[in-house]
Amino acid sequence: MVVKTSNSSSFLYVFVFALSILLTQSESAPQAFRRDPGHPQWHHGAFHDVRDSVRSDVRRMLHSRAEVPFQVPLEVNVVLIGFDGDGGYRYSLDLHQLEALLKTSFPTHRPSCLETGEPLDIEHHLVYNAFAAGQPELIALEKALKEAMVPAGAARETEFGREVPAFEVDATAVEPVFQKLYSYIFDIDNEGYSATEMDKPVPIAIFIVNFDKVRMDPRNKEIDLDSLMYGQLAKLTEEDMKKQEGDYIYRYRYNGGGASQVWLASGRFVVIDLSAGPCTYGKIETEEGTVSSKTLPRLRNLMNLGPGATHHSSHYNFLGQLASLVSTTVEHVIAPDVRFETVDLTSRLLIPIIVLQNHNRYNIMEKGHNYSLNIEAIEAEVKKMVHDGQEVVIVGGVHSLHRHEKLAIAVSKATRGHSLQETKKDGRFHVHTRTYLDGALLKEEMERSADVLAAGLLEVADPSLSSKFFLRQNWNDDSEGSTDSFFLKHKPLWATYDSKHGKKRRKKVKKQGDLLPTYGTRVVPVFVLSMADVDPHLMMEDENLVWTSNDVVIVLEHQNEKIPLSYVSETERRHALPSQAQRHILAGLASVVGGLSAPYEKASHIHERPVVNWLWATGCHPFGPFSNTSRISQMLYDVALRNTIYARVDSSLRKIRETSEAIQAFAAEYLKTPLGEPVKGKKEKTTTELWLEKFYKKTTNLPEPFPHELVDRLEKYLDGLEEHLVDMSSLLYDHRLQEALLNSSDVVQSTMFTQQYVDHVLVTEREKMRCCVIEFKYPVQSSQAYIYGGILVAGFIVYFVVIFFSNPVR
Helix, strand or coil, per DSSP, at residue 271: strand
d(CA 614, CA 605): 19
> Cβ contacts of residue 351 below 8 Å, gap of 6+?
382, 392, 393, 394, 395, 523, 524, 525, 526, 589, 593
Order of all β-strands in the sheet with 572-576 = 281-283, 563-569, 572-576
Run of H or E residues at 57:
helix 47-63
**Number of neighbours of residue 446 by Cβ within 10 angstroms:** 24
d(CA 146, CA 162): 23
**For residue 579, is it left (φ>0), alpha (ψ between -120 and 50) or beta?**
alpha
Distances (CA, A) of 647 to 54, 128, 783: 19, 25, 67
Distances (CA, A) of 596 to 114, 340, 633: 10, 8, 12
**For residue 513, is it left (φ>0), alpha (ψ between -120 and 50) or beta?**
left
**pTM, rounded to two decimals:** 0.82
Reference 539, options 381, 390, 415; nearest CA is: 415
> Cβ contacts of residue 546 below 8 Å, gap of 6+?
540, 553, 554, 555, 556, 584, 585, 587, 588
**What's the pLDDT tens digit per position in 270-309?**
999 999 989 999 998 788 889 988 899 988 888 765 544 4
Asked whether residue 408 carries a pLDDT value surpassing 70, the answer given is yes
How far does the chain reach from its first CA to its final CA, in angstroms? 179
Are 385 and 590 in contact by the 8 Å Cβ rule? The answer is yes
Give the pLDDT band of residue 589 (cuts 50, 70, 90).
very high
**Number of neighbours of residue 330 by Cβ within 10 angstroms:** 21
> Lowest mean pLDDT: which of 227-241, 707-721, 775-789?
775-789
> Lowest mean pLDDT: which of 3-12, 134-143, 662-671, 750-759?
3-12
Are 560 and 539 in contact by the 8 Å Cβ rule? The answer is no
Helix, strand or coil, per DSSP, at residue 660: helix
> Lowest mean pLDDT: which of 27-41, 110-124, 328-342, 377-391?
27-41
Helix, strand or coil, per DSSP, at residue 494: coil
Domain limits of the chain?
77-334, 348-562, 643-768
**What's the pLDDT tens digit per position in 604-661?**
888 888 999 999 999 999 999 999 999 999 999 999 999 989 988 888 888 888 888 8
> Lowest mean pLDDT: which of 111-125, 229-243, 554-568?
229-243
d(CA 667, CA 690): 10
Run of H or E residues at 635:
helix 634-670
Angle (CA) 390-395-400 rounded to 5° is: 150
Asked whether residue 685 carries a pLDDT value surpassing 60, the answer given is no
Work out the average pLDDT over 309-328: 84
What are residue 612's DSSP bridge partners? 601
Q: What is the Rg, in whole angstroms, of the alpha carbon atoms belonging to the chain? A: 36
The percent of residues above 70 in pLDDT, for the chain, comes to 74
d(CA 709, CA 701): 17
Helix, strand or coil, per DSSP, at residue 805: helix
Who wins on pLDDT, 585 or 197? 585
* CB-count exposure of residue 230 (10 Å: 0-12, 13-18, 19+): middle
